[in-house]
Structure 1
Amino acid sequence: MNYLAIDIGGTAVKVGLVSEEGKVLGKASYPADFDGYRTPLLETALKGAADFVLRLAPGDGEGLSAVQAAKALELGGIGISATCLIDTVRGRVAGAHFPNYQGAELKKSFEERFGLETHVVNDANSAALAELWTGNMKGCRDAILITLGTGIGGGIIVNGELLNGAHGFAGEVGHVSIKKDGPLAAYGNRGGYEEYASTKALVKRVEARLIEENRELPVEGLSGRSVFALVAQGDPLVTQVLSEWMDDILVGIENLIYIFDPERIVIGGGISAEEKMLIQPLEKRLKEHLMPTYRADIQVVPAVHHNDAGLIGAVYSFVN
């Protein structure tokens, strides 16, 4: 049996067909911020999903409604991975920093549009479930995924299952305060982990230091990828900033290890591909910092599911 998977992000909404074995059989992507979110993310997701299902249906879905097309495809249900704070019990957006997204009734809206049972999970938790199913958490009983990007997301696996918490909000590691006198974040807390250890934070630090040294910034601007390119070229200033940034990443990882005692830390996000400059140094420095009883078996590895993580994890959440 196959399932419809939706991955709602801030820049794009991805829609896919995923098998019960976790294989992505087909997918499409739709811009999310094409008009500054005047078109609500939920509306963009519903429209994109309907377009995708109709194109897969017999005869390109001509003359069919979304419900009829879903029935023709014999879909088993819908799994949604969604950005921001998600109430997994009600399937709605409980906290958001995008316009026209707060309070969006994802579960209710998709069930009404497609006539299929729908489950909703936070995007970082979805990524963790994808790794648990067919990725670098497979076979682990206790593991933690940390995604580094514009912010920081987390997914915590305890006894082989996703830790949801009392309200479905567990794993929001990016909002843990590591410096109480730090900058005020959009959600109201100060000194949040993601303000220091996200990829966005790394880029901001490098930009600031380059400006301090009267160095020109690249015309196209900086990104996580270009920062690592400068490190690979041997740039001493950027290499120093990267090292300082990794110290802040380690603060969060160490605290999580002491609380949850995982066997593996999985790093997600686009820069997780930088094994030699990020993953391996993180593991080495982590083992130098941890208490001896914790350091022997801990592993730091990259996530294997990148752009498809939300689609795969959303279906795993539905099936299980």
Structure 2
Amino acid sequence: MYTLHKLTDTLSAADVQSMKRMAALELIRVRGPVSRTEIADLLKVSLPTAIRIVDGLIADTLVRLSPHKAWSGGRKRELVAFNGDKHLVVGVDLGGTKVFGAVANLKGEFLYETNEVHNQSRSEGSFAVLCESIKDLLAFAQRTALPIYGISIGVPGVTHPDTGVVTLAPGLDWTGFPLKARLSKHFSYPLVIENDVNLAALGEFWSGTEAGVENLVLITLGTGIGAGIVINGMVHTGAHFMAGEVGYLLPDPGCLHSTFPGFGAFEQRASGIGIADRARQALQNVWNEDRLAAMTAEAVFHAARSGESWAVGVVAETVDYLAQAIASISLILDPDLILLSGGVARSADLLIGSIQDRLSGVIPFRPNLAVSRLDYRAGILGGIASLLRASS
């Protein structure tokens, strides 16, 4: 749950009020129905401040009066509850080869989902795929007659969340692409544009994946590799909005003398594409060109489970690369939890135990590794959380 931390002197009065409203809404969402007095006590604000915040949230229809009352000192107290089922969010997780879209309410309940494969590799083609997905989702949402709270877009690349400019997304052929400005010409709803893994990490935190977790890292292992970082309940984006771009980690010193204008060195070896490429190299004098061209990471893991030596070797090498990256993440950030997600993570039975074994005795503690149970939905939930926080 988002908690109201000590406010610094550098925050403006508006910033302080915004944080208080954000914290109150999160408290009501997670613990409601609650009374205004409870909100004041838990957030350590005055009762008049709590009353003013709650009245504003009621006016915005984000919370409502509960039919239930609480007794205190012989008097009944009004309770307020989250009004999350009265608003909808349209969310899109835009991958390099797939587009996952959903319509959900503010409680995170999914009403409609789509999962499409796309083969667009050019800038305008990628934008057209995204627009068509949004239009389809909006058509469903509008038929419900419920108000649409906003649209969230998760992008597989470096994204400026304030301007909505995609600095770099090689899988979509976007460099300096003004996504928010372009979408605003087609859709009149509030927009959240953010790195896809940042949204997914926030979604994992917001949904309460594991009790007591305030700091987590989500690593997605798919077409590429990225990570989202949540520190004290907030997404950490870094000075250049590149925090978590672990695909650019250097797996060995030889990478220092190379350039990586598209996919980074680490993801070229340990992503789904990288795993398939290394398998092709292992089999280049054994299989014919057609079989090699059809190679996938999924096929590699399937063959490893069957005990085929070439596949066992490729998977072992993948574990080595992942263990090095997870060791660095663990030692620099020391998170409560590291989650794995994406297509490669569906073979976690061959990864997690081996990664932990590799790191035993190498770093001072055993990282808490798990597989995301939310998968693609995490990004949509993160979009809901971002829209709610933006409204504060």
- TM-score bracket relative to the smaller structure: 0.7 to 0.9
1:125 maps to: 198
Q: Aligned equivalents of 1:318 and 1:138: distance in 2? A: 23
Q: TM-score, normalised by structure 1?
A: 0.84
- Note the C-alpha offset of 1:55: 4.0
Q: Aligned equivalents of 1:245 and 1:123: distance in 2? A: 23
Inter-CA distance 73–33: structure 2 relative to 1 (3 Å threshold): farther
Equivalent residues of 1:5, 1:311 under 8 A apart: yes
Q: Aligned equivalents of 1:97 and 1:285: distance in 2? A: 32
Secondary structure of the structure 2 residue equivalent to 1:147: strand
1:90 aligns with 2:163: yes
- Note the C-alpha offset of 1:137: 5.2
Q: Aligned equivalents of 1:32 and 1:241: distance in 2? A: 28
Q: Aligned equivalents of 1:269 and 1:99: distance in 2? A: 18
| Matched AA of 2:245 | E
1:66 maps to: none
1:230 maps to: 303
2:100 maps to: 14
Q: Deviations over 1:272-299 (max 9, x none)?
A: 12232112222232234222xx23xx31
State the structure with more CA Rg. 2
2:68 maps to: none
2:138 maps to: 53
Secondary structure of the structure 1 residue equivalent to 2:107: coil
What does 1:63-82 align with in structure 2 at a 5 Å threshold?
72-82=145-155
1:44 aligns with 2:132: no
Among 114, 118, 127, the alignment partner of 1:28 is 114
Q: CA-atom RMSD, angstroms?
A: 2.5
Inter-CA distance 15–164: structure 2 relative to 1 (3 Å threshold): same
Equivalent residues of 2:201, 2:382 under 8 A apart: yes
Inter-CA distance 307–218: structure 2 relative to 1 (3 Å threshold): farther
Task: State which drifts further: 177-186 or 152-161.
Answer: 177-186
Residues matched between the structures, number: 300
Among 276, 294, 302, the alignment partner of 2:371 is 302
Q: Name segments (4+ residues, structure 1) moved above 6 Å.
A: none
What does 1:206-217 align with in structure 2 at a 5 Å threshold?
206-212=279-285, 214-215=286-287
1:62 maps to: none
Q: Deviations over 1:156-201 (max 9, x none)?
A: 1212221111243211111122334235322497xx2212322222
1:313 aligns with 2:386: no
| Matched AA of 1:43 | A
Among 223, 226, 245, the alignment partner of 1:150 is 223
Equivalent residues of 2:224, 2:263 under 8 A apart: no
Equivalent residues of 1:135, 1:303 under 8 A apart: no
Q: Deviations over 1:74-116 (max 9, x none)?
A: 0111211112211112111111325663333222333343322
Inter-CA distance 302–129: structure 2 relative to 1 (3 Å threshold): same
Q: Aligned equivalents of 1:8 and 1:138: distance in 2? A: 29
Q: Deviations over 1:238-292 (max 9, x none)?
A: 212211221111111111111111122111111212232112222232234222x
Secondary structure of the structure 1 residue equivalent to 2:254: coil
- Note the C-alpha offset of 1:54: 2.4
Secondary structure of the structure 2 residue equivalent to 1:181: helix
Among 332, 349, 371, the alignment partner of 1:276 is 349
Structure 1: runs of 5 or more not aligned: 60-71
Q: TM-score, normalised by structure 2?
A: 0.69
| Matched AA of 2:319 | M
Q: Aligned equivalents of 2:235 and 2:369: distance in 1? A: 19
Q: Which has the higher contact order (CA 8 A, sep 6+)?
A: 1
Q: Aligned equivalents of 2:217 and 2:172: distance in 1? A: 30
Q: Aligned equivalents of 1:51 and 1:287: distance in 2? A: 49
Q: Aligned equivalents of 1:177 and 1:284: distance in 2? A: 22
| Matched AA of 1:78 | I
| Matched AA of 2:88 | N
Equivalent residues of 1:129, 1:316 under 8 A apart: yes
Q: Aligned equivalents of 1:9 and 1:201: distance in 2? A: 17
